[in-house]
Amino acid sequence: MKTYALTAFDPSGEKLLDESFTAANDEEAKKVGKARLDEKGYTDHTHRCVNPEAKLVLFHR
């Protein structure tokens, strides 16, 4: 399992969400990240999810 970082921002640049979670691979992390954004209501905000090597697995601007 790898640890991924998920962050969401409001238009002013303030962090709305900054959390980490574990997933088996990048595809699973993408699904988990999308689900967390949906449940928090941040899907339409700027967000990113990165793997431990800092590769983007999910991004929305």
Mean pLDDT score across all residues of the chain: 97
pLDDT, residue 34, reads 98
- By residue range, what is the domain housing residue 17? 2-60
Query: How confident is the model over 19-27, as a mean pLDDT?
Result: 98
Domains of the chain: total: 1
pLDDT, residue 57, reads 97
Report pTM: 0.92
Query: How confident is the model over 16-44, as a mean pLDDT?
Result: 97
Query: How confident is the model over 9-37, as a mean pLDDT?
Result: 97
Residue 31: pLDDT band (50, 70, 90) is very high
SS3 20: strand
Q: Is 6 exposed, middle or buried (0-12, 13-18, 19+ CB in 10 A)?
A: buried
